[in-house]
Each structure stands twice: as C-alpha cells, then as structure tokens.
Amino acid sequence: MKFLIAGLGNIGHEYAETRHNIGFDVLNAFADRHRVSFRTERLADVCEMKFKGRILLLIKPSTYMNLSGKAVKYWLGKERIALENTLIIADELAFPLSTLKLKKSGSDGGHNGLKSIQESVGTTAYPRLRFGIGNDFDKNRQVDFVLGRWADQEIETVNKKIIACCDLIESYVTCGIDRTMNEFNQMKF
C-alpha cells in the first residue's frame, strides 16, 4: 500500500515555524522520527519511506499555500496513489489550540490550501488532519495571526500535538481512518 502525506505550508525563512506552516513542521518531525530526509523535487520537497509494509510519500509543497493542490495532484498522479490513501495536514482557525481533528472529507472551511486541493482533485472527499491553532486575534488581524509565530505559552502544547500527529500518521496508515479518528479526535491538549 502506498500513501501520500502532504503537510501544507509556505516556503521561505520568513514563514518558518509560523501557525500556517504547521503541516511542514509535522512532516519534519515525522521524518526526524524515522531518520529520513527530504529532497527538492518538482513542486515539493519529497521524502519516500517505508513503515510496517507501507510506502509513505511525504510532501511539503513548494507552490505556496494557495497552490497546494497543484503539488498534491501532481504527486498523486506520478506515484499512482489513490485519493483515499492521502492525508493532508493543515492549520485550522476554527478549532482551539487544544484540538486535532481527522476527517474523511469536508469543506475547505476558508483555508486556501484546502480550497486549492479541492479544485485540483475535483472533490472534497479526501482525508485531512486539521491542527487547531485557535483564533485569538483582534479584528482584521487574521493574516498577521496565521502568519505569526507561536506565543511562548503555546509552544509546549504545539510540541505535544506535533508528537501526537506523528503517532496519528502511523495509526492512519496501519489501522485506517475510522479507528484513527476514534482514537485521536477525542484528545485534548
């Protein structure tokens, strides 16, 4: 079995370790856990690895967030991976920092990366992991909040959630989405 795990974010030093780049951070932690590294390829930084008889293709799109679908569609096609064997990891304003939510499908919820993927693959029926970042910002400051770095008091929770996301990816590819949703969607951090 082959899986595509895509962590969404923006390339460039100015975006590193921001809320919007949590998908990149999760995949970096997952690659570190399994002692593998990324290489720059077409439309993404890519890493292929094996885990318990499965092949995992990890991608961090280099298209910037708003064109993430271009990279996801390309790598799905190139590697002949079924859409149901995909997992997209993205930040989520609608959920508090204490929450992770794995879903089989759903709307883009105003997230431009998810919107791009939906437009590229032609459906909302693809698995996604939404990493709650909260919405503690003043009116008209959403962009600054999303593209901002984590507050010092958030770092411990963020790190715990990143570890849980790594565990979730392993569960997803070995136990399936239903069992993984039952185990992880109830967690609070």
24-52 tens-digit pLDDT: 999 999 999 999 999 999 999 999 999 99
Under 8 Å between Cβ of 74 and 46: no
Instruction: Give the whole-angstrom CA distance, residue 182 versus residue 184.
Output: 6
Instruction: Give the whole-angstrom CA distance, residue 6 versus residue 107.
Output: 17
Instruction: Give the whole-angstrom CA distance, residue 40 versus residue 146.
Output: 25
* pLDDT recorded at residue 106: 93
Q: Which residue has the tokens 């690895």?
A: 49
Under 8 Å between Cβ of 25 and 60: no
State both tokens at 14.
């100015």
Q: What fold characterizes domain 2-184? A: Rossmann fold (3.40.50)
Pick from 141, 124, 109, 129: nearest CA to 169: 129
Instruction: Give the whole-angstrom CA distance, residue 78 versus residue 176.
Output: 23
Please provide residue 37's backbone torsions phi and psi, each rounded to the nearest 5 degrees: -135, 160
Q: What percent of the chain has pLDDT over 90?
A: 96
Contacts of 188 (CB under 8 A, 6+ apart): 98, 99
- The single residue of 13, 20, 34, 111 carrying the catalytic annotation is 20
Instruction: Compute the mean pLDDT over every residue in the chain, rounded to the nearest whole number.
Output: 96
Number of H helices, E strands in the chain: 6, 7
136 pLDDT exceeds 90? no
Under 8 Å between Cβ of 19 and 148: yes
Instruction: Give the whole-angstrom CA distance, residue 75 versus residue 80.
Output: 8
| 34 classed as catalytic | no
71 pLDDT exceeds 90? yes
Instruction: Give the whole-angstrom CA distance, residue 100 versus residue 98.
Output: 7
